[in-house]
Amino acid sequence: MRLSDTQVVDTFAEAFPMWGARIVITAQSPAWAHEAARSMTGFATSVIGCKCEAGIERELDPAETPDGRPGVSALLFASDREGVAKRLVERIGQTVLTCPTTACFNGLEAPETVNVGGQLRFFGDGYQASKVLDERRYWRVPVMEGEFLVEERFAVAEGVAGGNIIVLGRDVAGALRATEAAAAAMRSVRDVILPFPGGIARSGSKVGSRYSGLAASTNEALCPTLRAQVPHTDVPAEVGSVFEIVIDGLTFEAVRDAMARGLEAAAGAGASHVTAGNYGGNLGPHHIELRGLVPGLRDE
């Protein structure tokens, strides 16, 4: 298939269920809200090595936050409900509670909840206090600066992880330029995050390895430097560099929308080829076909 001058492979991205939560962090200034959010979402590119996947969703105006201060929303995903709960307590406790002027709130409406502030309150060593507003309990934890305000329970819901597009270019500069354009377009979609640095992964992986105990290893079929050494390659002769964007979202529709915007932007920025990663349908139940994803995509 073709979109503008970009060849689009007739394939699909294979996504799978994961549990997610939205964290709203507020602070005295946007700068401090961002500091806490960046710290909380660090080292969270893949559940394979980080136990969770997390990223900043968007900046929030004071009118959008529970306490009327500047804020940031972030999403965090893990393999199960219990995993989300553990990561929330760990990360909020170590990176938001410790950050100057911050407060932390649940940002998701869903029937299932996990105890977060109710665990973090123990840092107050008996001096903590609680208040219930609109049937939600908040904890005020004393700290040297003043108080850390945190909501007791955070909602969790089943989301979708592993949506992706893979962008190929004739050289590193061209491939990166097209992938950066795709990532920027995807960030306009709410309810999704791109968990890798800058939203982009240069080290797309396959499941398993020839080395025992390694859960994932380099995807040699998409490594341009291995084109002549592997039994099968997916890298055309004119391609010199490949990048991947992985998308996690609270809904299937949001992930699909992000993929569509990314595909269109990558083609508009001069990508040589765009494809997607899947495992033959054996990994996850959510299959997002590139065919029909955007208007103007046509058969060659």
Residue-wise pLDDT for 213-224, tens only, equals: 999 999 999 999
pTM, full prediction: 0.96
If 0-12 CB within 10 Å is exposed, 13-18 middle and 19+ buried, where does residue 90 land? middle
Residue 198: pLDDT above 90? yes
What the block records as the tokens of 201 is 């992964």
Fold agreement between 2-15+160-289 and 19-157: yes
Whether residue 100 is predicted with pLDDT greater than 90 in this model: the reply is yes
19-157 maps to CATH 3.40.630.30: no
Q: Is the separation of the CB atoms in 11 and 292 below 8 Å?
A: no
Structural contact between residues 53 and 46, judged by C-beta atoms closer than 8 angstroms: yes
Assess whether pLDDT exceeds 90 at residue 282.
no
pLDDT at 111: 98
For the segment 105-156, what is each residue's pLDDT rounded down to a tens digit? 999 999 999 999 999 999 999 999 999 999 999 999 999 999 999 999 999 9
- The CA-based dihedral angle spanning residues 148, 193, 186, 273, taken in that order and rounded to the nearest 10 degrees: 150
Sequence ranges of the domains in the chain: 2-15+160-289, 19-157
Q: Does domain 2-15+160-289 have CATH number 3.30.70.520?
A: yes
- Per-residue model confidence as pLDDT tens digits over 221-272: 999 999 999 999 999 999 999 999 999 999 999 999 999 999 999 999 999 9
Give yes or no for residue 20 having a pLDDT over 90. yes
What is the chain's Cα-based Rg? 21
